[in-house]
Amino acid sequence: MKRGQKGFTLIELMIVVAIIGILAAIAIPNFISFKKKATIAAAISNLETARSALTQFAADSDNSCYPDAMADLTTMKNTLGPYGLTFPDTLPGIKWNAFTYTGSAFDSTDPTVCAQFTLAITTTEGTQFKAVTMGICCDDTTMGDPSVCQQYAKNTPLCSEFGLTP
């Protein structure tokens, strides 16, 4: 190096690269965890919106019944749209990977039959949740690991607390 020229030595540059690598190794797992929690929170929020719309539907119907069938997202949006359900047009848009809805048709011999529903979803992250008349719960059997609910959905009760079995 000529006199008067300044620059970084190879050792100084290697130390900086090592420090950046250590910081990245710490930050990336945290980012992945935060992303998963955010996706699950969005899915739960959309599930609560659907549960609220179902409750409004039942309150507005003459026999206080929930809808007996909703096979796809379009049917759900058409049925519950007048009750405040506004979803994107695709399941990934609402952070769901799949959903199933179970309701019972009105039975004049037992009017309480149609007063129950279960809306079960799987998030895009793979965690399973259920919306029932009592509220929203995290499925204890998600991916065969009950700790997933405790780790990513801490404030959501487990479905076993509602007396629901898988």
On whether the CB atoms of residues 158 and 165 are closer than 8 A, the answer is: no
Q: What percent of the chain has pLDDT over 90?
A: 43
Higher confidence at residue 161 or residue 57? 57
* φ and ψ of 101, to 5 deg: -120, 130
Could you give the angle at the alpha carbon of 50 between the alpha carbons of 124 and 158, nearest 5°? 65
Range of the domain at 102: 10-162
Confidence of residue 5 (pLDDT cuts 50, 70, 90): confident
In a domain, 132, yes or no: yes
> Mean pLDDT, to the nearest integer, of 77-105?
90
In a domain, 3, yes or no: no
Could you give the angle at the alpha carbon of 69 between the alpha carbons of 62 and 114, nearest 5°? 45
Q: What local confidence, expressed as pLDDT, does residue 145 receive?
A: 66
What token pair was written down for 143? 């991916």
CATH code at 38? 3.30.700
The answer, yes or no, to whether residue 59 has pLDDT greater than 60, is yes
In a domain, 80, yes or no: yes
Q: Which helix (H) or strand (E) holds 109?
A: none
In a domain, 5, yes or no: no
On whether the CB atoms of residues 127 and 143 are closer than 8 A, the answer is: yes
On whether the CB atoms of residues 76 and 45 are closer than 8 A, the answer is: no
Q: Which helix (H) or strand (E) holds 79?
A: helix 73-80
126 Cα distance to chain centroid: 9
The answer, yes or no, to whether residue 22 has pLDDT greater than 90, is yes
The answer, yes or no, to whether residue 18 has pLDDT greater than 90, is yes
* φ and ψ of 97, to 5 deg: -95, -35
What token pair was written down for 125? 């992250």
Q: pTM to 2 decimals?
A: 0.80
Cα 28 to Cα 35: distance, rounded to the nearest angstrom: 11
In a domain, 51, yes or no: yes
Confidence of residue 142 (pLDDT cuts 50, 70, 90): low
Q: Per the structure, how many domains does the chain have? A: 1
> Mean pLDDT, to the nearest integer, of 152-161?
85
| AA identity, residue 40 | I
The answer, yes or no, to whether residue 150 has pLDDT greater than 90, is no
